[in-house]
Each structure stands twice: as C-alpha cells, then as structure tokens.
Structure 1
Amino acid sequence: MNEAMYYKKEDRGRVYCYLCPVHCHIVDGGVGACKARKNIGGRLYSLNYGKISAISMDPIEKKPLYHFYPGSSILSISSFGCNFKCSFCQNWELSQQVPIMENSSISDIIKIAESYKDNIGIAYTYNEPLIWYEFVLNTAKIAKEHGLKNVLVTNGYIEEEPLKELLPYIDAMNIDLKGGDWFYKSICKGKLENVKRTIEISSSHTHVEITNLIIPGLNDDMSKIEEMAMWLSSISKDMPLHFSRYFPQYRMEKPPTPVETIMEAKKIASRYLNYVYVGNVFGSDQNTYCPVCRSIIVERGYRTRVVGFEKGVCKNCGYKINIILRED
C-alpha cells in the first residue's frame, strides 16, 4: 500500500480526505466513499496503488477522443473504485466492487506500453482514475519522460489543488458531464458545480472532450441539453461533445434511449458547438467535418483516415481545426 496524498490527520485517529469534493472523514479502519482509500492507524493509504483490474489496447476513439491523434491506439489500464454512486454505471464491476486484480509496478506498465509499436501512450480509464490518484500521477510523470501520452477518462470530480498538480502530465481528457444539478445530487450523489470547474480548469491546460450519456426520463430534457451546450460553447465552440445512447446496466432497468432522442440532442447542441458526435447508435455518422465549408476532415469507417486536414487547418477553406495529430 502507498500512503495517500491530500489528507489531514484529525483527533481520535480519524483522517480527513480532501482529494475530491466528497470530503470524507474516515475513522481508523474505515474506508472512504470511493472504497479505495483506507485509514490505517491514523494514516490514509491508497488501496488501489499498483492494482490493475483491466489492461488492453484500444482505439483512441473508444475513450471517446475524436480530436486527439485520430486513428491511433492507446494502452488502457484501470483499477477499482469511484467517488460517484451512479445506478446506471457502464463499468460497475470495476467502479462499484473490488474485482480480481494483479499487482503491477510503474516500470511494468511503461514496458508494456512501449512494447506496442503503434501505441501513443497510456489511458487511465474504466473505473474512476482520479481516486487512483497517486498511481496515476506517478505513472504519468514517468510516461512523459518516455515520450508517452497520458489520457484521463474521468467524471471530473476532484478538488482544484490535486487537479492542478496532475494536469501538467496529462495530454488529453474525456470528462463526463452527466446532467444538471438535480441529476448529480439525486443520481450520482455529487455536485455539478465541481465538475464544471474541472472542465473549465482542464480546458485551459490540455485537450478536453465531453461525454453525455442520455438516459430516458432523467437527463433527456432538451432545454437542459441546450443549456449544457451553451455553457460548453462559452468555454470553446471547438470543444467536442459526444452524446452516448444509454442501455440498461447495473441497477438501472430503464429501456434504451430512443435513437431519435440522441439525434435531436445532436441537432440542438450543434447550434452552439462545432463538433458534436453520437455514440452507441449503429450506422451513425462519425466523421469530422469542417464547421465552415463542411468538407470531411476525418473519415471514420472501417478505419480512421485524416483526409482534409493539413498544417492545423481545413485543406479546402483554411479554417483552423481543433485536432491534434501524431508528430510522425
């Protein structure tokens, strides 16, 4: 076990964890809400440090990241735990319970990442990487030294100080923006304002894309979706937004989101944002288009091809496109 960062000792052997906005006060022998940080003898320890629950090579588009090294692959790793309690969690086996895991050192992960010829780096994903904080931070630092990219796929629920310490080592993020205030308080057991702050801070330091999983009857109000798109556009009209279709999972048995709902959300959000995509919808258009002339910039079919982008701009009209390409 590794001693945790961002905690303070309290009286009677308790500790106060301020890594994330849950702000757990943990008695000796107890664990935090994330189930991944434990008070042992008045010290807080990371239970998931070096614990790997899943490891695989994924297309970068699976994160989803469409504007960061399109067509590339990345080594994805995860541990366990989460500081949200979403009843619809798509990765609940890793986030809401303790799975079978293997012990891995940072050097092990770096060696695996470097063993794949076309791998661009490491994605910390599947469970919530921000409560895997110490291992992610230490691994990301060394990965950067080896020329590897670091990607976070996260709910964005973290305090400002640890976020700012981590960001210099992160090359791209996909952050979930799950819904409005009510949705966060009632469904996720969190607060929207903290996630919005993470998006604002992160977007000024690294490449950020947003995912919104639309669930029937919970966060499918088109006026709220329009409000979300307007807010994101106030940060940047070029911030990619991914709407994802919900399917029954974990403890939620609502029917799948109608395809029409997803497409309507895309139509509304596209009034404010230049790049809006849909996921979990078979046959949907996944291409990236120039916001001005509508030329295809990135074609995503059997394989991903960059076809209309050169030196940072659209080949056809010269409009600046928010896409990061491989240096090679």
Structure 2
Amino acid sequence: MNRALRRGAPIALATSAALLLAGCAGGATPEASGTPTPDAAACMDVPSGDLSDSVKVDGEFSKAPTAEFTTPLEADELQRTIVTEGDGETTESGQKINAVVTTFSGESGDQLFSQPATITAGDDTLYQAFLAGVDCVPVGSRTVTVAPASTLYGDTGNESVGIKAGETVVIVVDVVEVQQPLKPADWTENVPEVKWGAEGEAPTVTLPKTDPSPDLQLKVLEEGDGATVGEGDSVTVQYQGISWDTGEIFDQSYTRGEPATFSTDQVIQGFGAALVGQKVGTKLIVTIPPEYAYGTEKSDQNALGGQTLVFLIEIVDTAPAGQ
C-alpha cells in the first residue's frame, strides 16, 4: 500500500485510508487542502440504484463483512445504498469518521482489502466513491457503494490491492464512530529494553515476557527540543515495528537507509497519536493494541490484524500539512 500514500508511508504504517486518496494509483496527487471545501458542506448527491441495492452484505458490524452480487458487475455511475441505518447522529462535513472499509472486486466478487480507516467527511483529497460511504449517514450505519472505474482508479487500476484497469469496485463501509482525540497513556510497566546501534545500524528492541497491555501506551526515551508535531503534519521519522504476538520485526526504516515521511492522519491511528504533540528530536516507544492498529481480525489481506504492535520511533522533522 505504500505506493498509495501521498508521501510514500511504508506499508506497515498505512491504513486503507491511504488508498482513498484521489490520484493515489500512481499518478500525481492533486494539489488539495485536505480539508472540506465549502461545497462539501452539503450532502453528496449519490442515489441508490439497482446495482447497489442488489449487493447482499452479511457479517457482524465493524468486522470484515461478506458481500454477494452477480459478477461481473459493471457500473456506469456511482450508487450508494444504506444497508443498515444506524441510530447515532448524522455525520457532518469536517468530522473524522472511524470506519471499517471493505472492498470487493466487481469482476470476481473477491474481497480486496478490509481494514479500519479514518475518513474525514468532505475531504476533497479523497475519492468520492469512499466519501459516499460516510456522507450524511447516522453513526452505526452500514453502506454499500458501487463505484465505476471512472470514479476510482480509471484505466490505471491499483495493482497494490488487485484492482484491475477499468474495474468496478464494491465498497462496504461500517460507520463506527466520530473520532475523538486519541492520547496515549504513560507507559510505566513492562517497557521493552532498547539498545541503540552504531550509526547506520538498526537498534535492538527486547520485549518483556509478559502479555501486552490492552491500552495505547507511550514512553518518551529521549525528549527533543525541535518543533512540535501537529495533527495532519507531514512528519519524517526513523522507526522499527515489532509484533508483540510473534516478537518479530515486520518493518523498519533503519534498514532502508533513509527515514520515512508521511502525514500523521494517513497511518494507523495509534502511530499517528503517538507523534502528535511530540517534538522533533524525540525518541519514543509506543505499544498499540489491535483496535488502534489493523483491527481485531486477521485475514489473508490483513496479516497484522488482531496483533498488538510496538513501534520504536525517532522524530527527524515535521512540517505543516500542505508544505
């Protein structure tokens, strides 16, 4: 999924929200504010239709659902059907919506990916096909959007998730909640041991032989004195990611020879929350339970689902969104 991000955040950090960005299929990302436009304040005009009504969705809310429909499914226009109407407040432009986004190939009916994502309603950097799933619907709703290729990846497709050129995509979105600010608790017990390597060498993190905390927790190992990271900032970091469940490193920037740069709102929620409010130069370690990482369910498309993740992070630089 790294090719789908605005600034190339690594696959181990990216959520499916990264795939929602307009222009993320390999072309240049459009110059956009990343915030709702005045026109976006009104509800989108996305009617239901025979195709979206025909999709049968099953499965527990906020989990990876199944979908059945006649294949190949080919659409000429965007259609959205509210499969289950929630009883929460209706979503509004500018709100950050925690959702579970699941996509299916219109050609084969196969699931392409299913992951938690945070979608800002009315964000003009996102494809309308994804925005439609959370637009002006009650929290607790499950929606089905049938998206023709012209509203998504067009004649390019998206190789990273198996969407072919010109393919229609079925998108199921569970609108879980309006996101509240997430702040990690202080990590004071069972903190891993960290040994820093020589310049150019990766550090070593030794996890304690205990069960992971069910909470998002952070420990500052060395406080920096640079600029403070703000929400939505473009941040440059060195990092190492370890699964508490397996003890294995699943990804890191240290071995790639250069740090990674990405927006704090285009990575897994717990990782972004660990960065916001910290200063450039800070070294920290954070433990992230599944609900703030890749969700509680593991699948062939979501190998890190259900796992508690630990990240060692060095903040190298930060810049306001759009710079």
TM-score, L = length of structure 2: 0.26
Whose RCO is larger (CA < 8 A, sep 6+)? 2
Higher share in helix: 1
TM-score (norm 1): 0.26
